[in-house]
Structure formats: C-alpha cells, structure tokens
Amino acid sequence: MSAGFVELWVYLSATPLFGLTATLGVYVLAQAASARLGQPPWANPVLFTVLVLGALLMATGTEYPVYFSGAQFVHFLLGPAVVALAWPLWQRRAELRQRWAALVGAGLAGGLAASLVAVLAGWALDLPASTVASLAPKSTTAPVAMGIAQQIGGVPALAAVFAVLTGLTGALLAKPLFDALRLHGPALRGFALGTAAHGIGAARAWSVHPSAGAYAALALGLQVLLAAFTLPVVLPWVLARLP
C-alpha cells in the first residue's frame, strides 16, 4: 500500500500535472484566506503561495525545472496579460491625456530615485560591484531588469531575483507607508506602486481598486520605456564615480 503510494507520487510529481495543480491549488487557497482576512498587505496571496510552494518543493525534494514544467503554463500568460493592460489604459485615455506630463515626470523621478538609492546604499554597505549593478535596475519588470543589468556589468539572474523581491517588498510596504505619509487616492497609490514595484506591485494595486490597477499598469509600462532609455546611460556614469 505505502510502496504503491510512493510509486504513484513519484509518477505524478514528475509530470507537468504536479506543478500546475500545486500552483493553482495553493493560490486559490491563499486568495480565499486573504479575502477572509480583509486583504491586509501582509497576507499577500503571491507571497504566501510562493513561500508554501517553495517549502513544498524543498520538503519533497522536487527540482525547480520539474515544478516549472507544469507552472510554465501559468508563467506563459504573463505576456498576454501585459498586452491586456492596454485596455484599462484606453478606458482612462481622457484623464491620462490631461495628466501625462505629471505622470511622465513622476515616473522618471521615482524610477531614478529607486535606482540611485539602491546603488548608493549598496555601495555604502560595501556590496561587490556586480551585486550593486544587479540591484540598480530592480524597479523595472524582471526581463527588462536582466537586460539592463547585463549592459552595466551586473548578473542577469541576480537582477531577476532582485526585481521579484522588490515587487514583493513594494506590495507589502506600500499601504503602511502611504497611510503614514497620508498619501491618498487610488490613482496616485497605484501609479507609485507600478513605478517602484512593477508587475507584482501592479497586481497588488489591481486587487485593491481597479483605478489603482490601471495607473499601476500605466506606470509599469512607462517605467519599462524610461528605464530602457535612461538607466544604461545614467548608471555607468554613477558607478564610474564611486570610489
């Protein structure tokens, strides 16, 4: 009986079925728990799902590529989802036309602030130069951060890890921070989240308010463009001047 169960587990855990079922199953549970608790930022469903699945993989000795063979079906949908962000932007096109200068200015300043503070803090804490260069583009979405890190002497894989950690950090800290500083308005909060914490911040904003989600989507798209053009120029200049 138990030998049969082990055999069955070995078979099932090696098929894509395991990764897909585990991803969706744990996420559905995390969503339900978060909704029950009134969606506080510390019960972020992504964070919870990621931690539970990480623990599950380690406890069962499942290799990440085996898990990913199933999870890739979920991962793939990120592309179409980014394309779909055009829709909430279109719905708000009138107010965006009015506010575009303020939005571009704030996105540019916020993105540069996040990047420069990361470089200076990393340098002050005596981190290796390649780690600092990998931390610099972390406020942009992971694939873009990897490309920029490579151009400025960072490690792309590290940059992807830092980008994801940044997204989770932003999603967790934004609400208490904004409450403390009395920064209100779903549009304003959403835009700041999308600027500093890209897609994961946008997903958090989306779960709070549709307007916050739309502005976060705008900020994340804008940040990709701004970062791709400014960071490869500004960062080497800054890095070269640090002793």
- Restricted to residues 83-102, the positions that interact with another protein (CB under 8 A) are 83-95, 99, 101-102
E strand spans, the chain: none
Contacts to another protein from residues 160-179, by CB under 8 A: 160-162, 164-170, 173-174, 177-178
Q: Compute the least distance from the CB of residue 129 to another protein, in Å.
A: 12
Main-chain phi, psi angles of 19, to 5 degrees: -60, -40
| Binder among 18, 67, 133, 152 for another protein (CB under 8 A) | 67
Could you say which of 66, 142, 152, 159 contacts another protein (CB under 8 A)?
A: 142
Size of the site for another protein (CB under 8 A): 116
C-alpha to C-alpha distance for 152 and 164, rounded to whole angstroms: 19
Q: Given candidates 13, 18, 27, 159, which one binds another protein under the rule CB under 8 A?
A: 27
The reply on whether position 111 binds another protein by CB under 8 A is yes
Kindly state whether residue 72 participates in binding another protein, applying the rule CB under 8 A.
Answer: yes
Q: 6 or 114, CB closer to another protein?
A: 114
Residue 206 engages another protein in binding (rule: CB under 8 A): yes
Cα separation, 214 vs 86, in Å, equals 9
Residue pair 53/23 in contact by the 8 Å Cβ criterion = yes
Interface region with another protein, contact rule CB under 8 A, candidates 8-16, 35-43, 214-222, 235-243: 214-222
Tell me how long the chain is: 243
d(CA 28, CA 19): 14
DSSP single-letter state for residue 139 = T
Interacting residues with another protein between 115 and 134 (CB under 8 A): 115, 117-118, 121-122, 125-128, 131
The closest of 174, 139, 163, 210 to 41, measured between CA atoms, is: 174
Tokens of 91: 């719905």
Q: Report which residue type is found at 197.
A: A
Helix (H), strand (E) at residue 132: helix 129-135
Q: Is the CB of 7 or the CB of 211 nearer to another protein?
A: 211
Terminus-to-terminus CA distance in the chain, angstroms? 66
> Taking CB under 8 A as the rule, does residue 149 contact another protein?
no
**Considering beta carbons, is residue 8 or 42 the nearer one to another protein?**
42
**Binding-site member from 12, 21, 35, 185 for another protein (CB under 8 A):** 185
User: Which lies closer to another protein via its Cβ, residue 7 or residue 95?
Assistant: 95
- 23 and 71 Cβ atoms separated by less than 8 Å: yes
User: Is residue 43 near another protein by the rule CB under 8 A?
Assistant: no
Residue among 184, 187, 171 at smallest CA distance from 139 = 171
For residue 145, give both structure tokens.
Answer: 């951060």
Q: Which is nearer to another protein, 7 or 25 (CB)?
A: 25
> Given the complex with another protein, which of 40 and 105 has the nearer CB atom?
105
